[in-house]
Amino acid sequence: MFDYLVVGAGLFGAVFAHEAHKRGKSVLVVDRRAHVAGNVYTENVNGINVHKYGAHIFHTSNKEVWGYIQQFAEFNRYTNSPVARYKDELYNLPFNMNTFSQMWGVKTPAEAQAKLNEQKADAVASLNGREPANLEEQALSLVGRDVYEKLIKGYTEKQWGRKCTELPAFIIKRLPVRLVYDNNYFNDKYQGIPVGGYTQIVEKMLDGVEVRLGVDFFKERETLVASAQKVVFTGMIDEYYGYKFGELEYRSLRFETEDLSQENYQGNAVVNYTEACVPYTRIIEHKHFEFGCQGGSATDHTVVTREYPATWKHGDEPYYPMNDERNNALYAKYKVLADAETKVIFGGRLGMYKYFDMHHVIAEALACVGKEFG
């Protein structure tokens, strides 16, 4: 009999398992994949750490979380600065003085502000003081027509498979808009990539904990639940409840990875393709996360991944929860059941049905540990 069964060896499950083990609890972790680390899994391909489930950049303003994760790896000074490609034009992201200067030829913040005001005037007027009701209204009132048409609309509609007018405004609020020449994609205080990849972090967290891979909870549900006093579940909450209120929607992705015999393919870790007619959203060149063309870990080959958004159906990986009103309301029904459980705790991106970044997941897991162990 284990004290805890943890379903899912992603960050949430691993942090919880680590903390429970540290407190002398016996823990069994199961995951249906053949490896630990969930979506932050990285694999070393001839000297390059490949982010197998999409680019993962660690960023946070939470000092406790930043201190916590550094117990398990050293982080480099990587700052995410994606480049956006629209037809033959290249723009710096997030939306900052470099972008505005490339878009309109403006040189000073005052010139950029004047241009932004002109670009967003119609959208602001039609809002007439109310909050933007969807992503299109949000984007147009934030950065105006040109930036929306070239850098947001095509990318967002292929990423989410829906019109911007049918998407929640909050998605685009993640992106900073700045009147300084600063291409840092995030506003957070701390940022970096773990030297040597993410998998080692989760392996260290799970050191001393029993882990069974290739185990689907739903195929051995009764035996597994009976084997522990309590269950921490980080899979899909709707699947846990047999979809009794209906299915939550997710967005999936397909990754196409190539190992190229050239040293440097695109000169940046992340290049976004913002045109609607290009079927992928971005190309990741993994070596640049760890400065693979600039010194120590240089290699003469490079690994690139194209990320294709995909409609989610049963059996696909549910990468992104679709946190719109309909799905949030459905999740709220499942949450009522979850809150009434005495033996099961739900956590993580799928268990809590929330568009969490890694630092959010760690903070949630630590809060859960706090509740459980005081």
Under the rule (CB under 6 A), what is the footprint of ligand FAD? Answer: 7-13, 30-33, 38-40, 53-58, 216-218, 234-235, 253, 319, 348-350, 356-359, 361
Q: Quick check: is 86 catalytic?
A: no
Q: Quick check: is 357 catalytic?
A: yes
Task: Tell me which stretch binds ligand UDP (CB under 6 A): 66-74, 113-121, 172-180, 333-341.
Answer: 172-180
Q: Quick check: is 251 catalytic?
A: yes
Return d(Cα 230, Cα 208) in angstroms, integer: 19
Residue 277 tokens, joined: 């007619």
Print burial letters for 120-134: b (CB count within 10 Å at least 16), e (below 16).
Answer: beebbeebeeeebeb
Q: Quick check: is 162 catalytic?
A: no
Residue 250 tokens, joined: 């997710």
Active-site position among 178, 250, 285, 331: 178
Contact map string, positions 114 to 153, toward ligand UDP, x by CB under 6 A:
-------------------------------------xx-
**Based on CB atoms, which residue is closest to ligand FAD, 39 or 302?**
39
State which of positions 235-274 bind ligand UDP (CB under 6 A): 272, 274
Residue 227 tokens, joined: 């084997």
Return d(Cα 100, Cα 115) in angstroms, integer: 9
Least gap, CB of 301 to ligand FAD (angstroms): 23
Return d(Cα 290, Cα 299) in angstroms, integer: 11
Active-site position among 53, 85, 157, 251: 251
**Based on CB atoms, which residue is closest to ligand FAD, 123 or 350?**
350
Return d(Cα 210, Cα 213) in angstroms, integer: 10
Question: Counting contacts by CB under 6 A, is residue 171 touching ligand UDP?
Answer: yes
Least gap, CB of 361 to ligand UDP (angstroms): 13
Q: Quick check: is 33 catalytic?
A: no
- AA letter at 161: G
Q: Quick check: is 178 catalytic?
A: yes
Task: Tell me which stretch binds ligand UDP (CB under 6 A): 171-179, 198-206, 207-215, 229-237.
Answer: 171-179
Q: Residues 284, 288, 290, 293: is their CA dihedral positive or negative?
A: positive
Q: Quick check: is 23 catalytic?
A: no
Residue 304 tokens, joined: 């690139």
Residue 10 tokens, joined: 């992603």
Least gap, CB of 112 to ligand FAD (angstroms): 27
Return d(Cα 73, Cα 70) in angstroms, integer: 5
Contacts of 137 (CB under 8 A, 6+ apart): 123, 126, 127, 165, 169
- Active-site residues, by number, are 174, 178, 251, 282, 307, 355, 357
